[in-house]
Amino acid sequence: MTAPTSAPPVRVLLVDDQELIRTALSMVMADLEDVEVVGEAADGEEAVGLAGELAPDVVVMDIRMPGMDGIEATRRITGTQGEVRVVVLTTFDDDAYVYGALRAGASGFLVKDMALDDIIGAVRVVAAGDALIAPSVTRRLIHDFAARPEQRGKRRELTGITDREREVLTLVGSGLSNAEIAAELCISVATAKTYLTRLLAKLDARDRVQLVILAYEAGLVSP
């Protein structure tokens, strides 16, 4: 699984109250050239402290932990360290918690029974500045999030974007990749990426996950 690279390794903080999970991930990442585990935490409070001290690129965050949970820890880390990305660990019965983590600024979701290679790949994706919007679990969670009773009737006004950018945002909210957006609009992939970059800046969104949420909140995409 070693991936050759000349770039600095992705610095990862592992947060989980189960030592077995932290150990398994740490052992796998120890064999990689492009990923480095810089710390481990067993609860949210410890995670917040270590994130401030170690400045990791990515925090792999469990949700259910004693004391401060992963949602509050995610909120505090993304609120004070905008450059740090957080991916949360979840299971299918954790949806209610994941909605909170999504709102707290998480850049994606990992399922605990995923293959270790997939988890490593997800860390790399998030470190590169993207969000885990392609996996079906993420689309389902965001789709369900938009359909929750507290979201019904809400409409967010989007200002300062062009009609074309609104069109791109609608496609992002529908779960299309950059390549699929390019094909749908008959533009190049590079142009699609440019629109995404503009939308992130204009809407003050951290990543693709937040753009999807905005598309639902603005009524561009319906559950």
What is residue 93's predicted lDDT score, i.e. its pLDDT? Answer: 55
Average pLDDT rounded to a whole number, residues 214-222: 81
List 35's β-bridge partners, or say none: 10
What domains lie within the chain, and their CATH numbers?
A: 10-132 (3.40.50.2300), 154-217 (1.10.10.10)
Could you tell me the two tokens for 209? 């996950």
pLDDT of residue 135: 46
Q: At which residue do the structure tokens 């359909």 appear?
A: 147
CA nearest 10: which of 46, 70, 56?
56
Among 2-6, 22-26, 91-95, top mean pLDDT goes to: 22-26
Over 80: is that where the pLDDT of 100 sits? no
Min mean pLDDT across 36-40, 48-52, 145-149, 175-179 is at 145-149
- The residue among 60 and 120 whose pLDDT is bigger is 60
Distances (CA, A) of 72 to 41, 98, 215: 15, 12, 25
Task: Please report which confidence band the pLDDT of residue 134 belongs to, taking 50, 70 and 90 as the band edges.
Answer: very low
- For the cut 90, the answer to whether the pLDDT of residue 169 exceeds it is yes
Give the DSSP letter string of the chain: -----SSPPEEEEEE-S-HHHHHHHHHHHHT-SSEEEEEEESSHHHHHHHHHHH--SEEEEES--SSS-HHHHHHHHHHH-TT-EEEEEE-GGGHHHHHHHHHHT--EEEETTS-HHHHHHHHHHHHTT----SSHHHHHHHHHHHHSGGGTT--PPP-S--HHHHHHHHHHHTT--HHHHHHHHT--HHHHHHHHHHHHHHTT-SSHHHHHHHHHHTTSS--
Which residues lie across from 86 on neighbouring strands? 59
Closest alpha carbon to 184 in 213, 203, 164, 199:
164
Q: What whole-number percentage of the chain has pLDDT above 70?
A: 81
The full DSSP string for 141-163 is: HHHHHHHSGGGTT--PPP-S--H
The answer, yes or no, to whether residue 2 has pLDDT greater than 70, is no
Mean pLDDT of 69-81: 92
Q: Distance (Å, rounded) from C-alpha 8 to C-alpha 222?
A: 41
